[in-house]
Structure 1
Amino acid sequence: MKMKTAVLHSIRDVRIEERDIPQPQAGHVLVRIQKVGVCASDVHYFTHGRIGPFVVEAPLVLGHESMGVIEAVGEGVKGFAAGDRVTLEPGSPCRTCEYCKSGRYNLCPEMTFMATPPVNGAFTEYLEWPADFAFKVPDSISDDAAALIEPLAVGIWAARRGQVKSGDTVVVVGAGPIGCTTLQAAKAAGATTLIAIDLEDFRLDLARELGATHTINARHQNAQQVIQDLTSRGLPTSHSGADVVFETAGTLRTCQQSMLLARPGGVVVLVGLPPDPMVTLDLVAAAAREVDIRGLFRYANCYPVALALLEQGRINLDRLVTHRFALPQVQEALTFADEFKQQSMKVMVDVTP
């Protein structure tokens, strides 16, 4: 039996190929993929062939925001049956190292992660994956939302890293898909003043619909001044700012700006990845104000929480989807996501119509 698979052969060269449908090994499930979201990392591999030390050196299947229906289960798998709708957590750790055993498996040195060279991803009709990283999807959750559990997991992990608490003021720099999932996760964690910053009004409008109490178009407004005015509470300007700032845009300028938006004693969570890892920051100013700078790498143990929040109606992922393509159009989908950022939010590939 054969299946269609979209394979990246070189920069901007995706080809549709026929491959054998895999059989599920022990402890794994075979999933008929239905939806796959296009992530910025997919676009980066498509346009640059690498992300930092991860280099595409052989044909690679992209896509890691996925959901589908179980086709078959391997030996020893319990709790799943053919026909179950599932969302797939794309990282599979070793399960035995100190990081895995302490619950921080996102830092596992032996992590296998979809669509990260050399591991193939989900732009394919069938995918075999470990059953313990497949999660049943309640009927109330749409296929689109199920595929987008992955970016929501990033937002939930960001809120945890920022230790968002009830009544906090948070700033999200960049109102793209990750920015909007982080915004909603912060709201679910108790933040009451939620400020979104972006350069595009259509993204800011969506951020407000999803829970932002204030939006700032940095193309036309001085974001630092606006946030100072919103958070001064009668204090000197030097002591205004947000409790937690999430940098999700991944640019040099926004990384630098984020340090200035946190209040003294506040937290900055670096969610986005700038193209140049060497970023100049005013660490003296951050240290003098005791601003905590925290990194983020993927997530751990967030899928069950994400599904619960969705089932309770506290998160809206369906509104993120703005454009659709079919599996044979993966090259067009990646090109569109790269060239039309000003009018697209989340591009979805409908693998199974």
Structure 2
Amino acid sequence: MGEQTHNLSFILEKTQSLKFEDRPIPHIRSPYDVLINVRYTGICGSDVHYWQHGAIGSFVVKEPMVLGHESSGVVVSVGDKVSSLKIGDRVCMEPGVPCRRCIRCKEGRYNLCVEMAFAATPPIDGTLAKYYTLPEDFCYKLPESMSLEEGALMEPLAVGVHIVRQAQIKPGDTLVVFGAGPVGLLCCAVAKVYGASKIISVDMNEERLEFAKKYAATQTVVAKRESAEDGAKRLIDTCDLGLGADAIIDATGAEPCINTALHALRTGGTYVQGGMGKSEINFPIMALCTKEITARGSFRYGSGDYSTAVGLVASGRLSVKELITGKVKFKDAEKAFEDVKAAKGIKTLIEGPADLGVDSSAQQVNGD
């Protein structure tokens, strides 16, 4: 018997070339896996980057690849050893599955697993499809108080949680966040929950800064083309940061922001690189050394970050609804990509495609 199709997918065929393709419905290959009908998917900057350039660092698109990794959906089939989910459960989907065997996985830092299979990172297909499979423990059941639209934003929120944890934000801290895109805004929101007393959003886009001030930032500063030292001084003086900020997060990857940040930190402050830019940059290493700055990278999300994200929204301590500034039908997915490329809105969601149902006899299955 041939494979069932009806798994409409949105494909990056090659650089700057997108198309729809009906692919086979994926099989549940492990008794611990579930099959999900994807309902909403947010578009990330990395999706747009792959579309425009065909690569991010060493990850190169060599074969047609399904895009998308910020998704929520409904469970339509479960493996016979699945115990935490049932058919009909609404879930948000953590899109990276580690090997679970290496040292990094065993020490709880599975986001650093070298064998990580991450959606829409070559050669792994993404979630912009009707159906997608994941292990049950990488699906998080949404409480009745949360919508599927909010569920799709748990991926970027988990990124924000991880970055803020890397910054070790505690009550009373002063924090500067460079970049008022989705991740930067969510870092502000998480830091507010974690007790930061002063949260400053920096960006060149004044419209986004207006949003940041209404959303979670206590102050905003418009970035200008100036030297890093001058920019840091203006930031410190404008925001009354005294000897500098306790912590700074860069969510841009832009070299001028990174340089300004290192000059704007107090001695003993913490710097976290959350945004990805060029593979190599120049930065003021003397400031890093003489201030004894703690500098950390931040990559995706690790143990507890996704469940924390869901808990923050479910408890009402943090809201993500405001970030959803556009929704489009699946057939208009390419238009959504164009809008994100043009920096229209904050977060655009692609809806569907709608579930056409699966063979009920296959709803509870053994692993292959």
TM-score by length of 1: 0.94
Paired residue type of 2:198: T
Structure 1 position 227 matched with structure 2 position 235? yes
2:16 equivalent in structure 1: 12
What's the offset of the Cα at 1:324?
2.1
Q: Partner of 1:288 in structure 2?
A: 290
Of residues 299, 312, 323, the one that matches 1:320 is: 323
Task: Label 1:284 to 1:352 Cα distance change in 2 as closer, same or farther (>3 A).
Answer: same
Name the aligned partner's letter for residue 39 of structure 1.
Answer: C
Shift of 1:70: 0.3
CA distance in 2, matches of 1:333, 1:52: 24
User: Hey, what does 2:112 align to over in structure 1?
Assistant: 107
SS in 2 for 1:245: strand
Aligned to 2:307, the other structure's residue is in SS state helix
Once residues 259 and 196 of structure 1 are traced to their aligned partners in structure 2, the CA distance between those partners, rounded to angstroms, is: 16
Greater shift in the superposed pair: 260-269 or 223-232: 223-232
Question: Identity across aligned pairs (percent)?
Answer: 37
Residue equivalent to 1:148: 153
The answer to whether 1:351 aligns with 2:356 is: no
In the TM superposition, residue 9 of structure 1 has moved relative to its aligned partner by 0.6
Q: Which residue of 2 aligns with 1:24?
A: 28
Question: Aligned residue for 1:70?
Answer: 75
Tell me if the contact between 1:124 and 1:327 (Cα under 8 Å) persists in the aligned partners. no
1:1-353 pair list within 5 angstroms: 1=4, 2-25=6-29, 26-219=31-224, 223-229=231-237, 240-274=243-277, 276-301=278-303, 302-338=305-341, 340-341=342-343, 343-352=344-353
What's the RMSD between the two structures over aligned residues? 1.6
User: Partners of 1:231 and 1:104 in 2: how far apart?
Assistant: 36
Q: Is the 8 A contact 2:329 2:351 kept in 1?
A: yes
**Cα displacement (A) at 1:6:** 0.8
Number of aligned residue pairs: give it: 345
| Distance (whole Å) between structure 2 residues aligned to residue 126 and residue 209 of structure 1 | 37
CA deviation after TM superposition for structure 1 residue 331, in Å: 2.0
Tell me by how many angstroms 1:330 deviates: 2.1
1:124 shift after superposition: 0.5
Shift of 1:347: 1.4
Measured in 2, the distance between the counterparts of 1:304 and 1:281 equals 35
1:100 Cα deviation from its structure 2 partner: 1.1
SS at the partner of 2:66?
Answer: coil
User: Any conservation in 1 of the 2:204–2:223 contact (CA below 8 Å)?
Assistant: yes
Query: Which runs of no fewer than 5 residues in structure 2 stay unpaired?
Result: 355-368
Deviation at 1:75, TM superposition (A): 2.2
Q: Which range moves more in the overlay, 248-257 or 145-154?
A: 248-257
Q: Distance in 2 between matches of 1:74 and 1:251?
A: 44
* Structure 1 gaps, min length 5: none
Q: CA deviation at 1:264?
A: 1.1
Inter-partner Cα distance in structure 1 for 2:225 and 2:115: 45
TM-score, structure 2 as length reference: 0.90
What is the CA deviation profile of residues 10-52 of structure 1, one whole-angstrom value per residue up to 9, with x for unaligned ones? 1121111111212322211000000000000000000000000
After TM superposition, give the deviation of residue 231 of structure 1 in Å: 5.9
Distance, in Å, in 1 between the alignment partners of 2:316 and 2:264 is 31
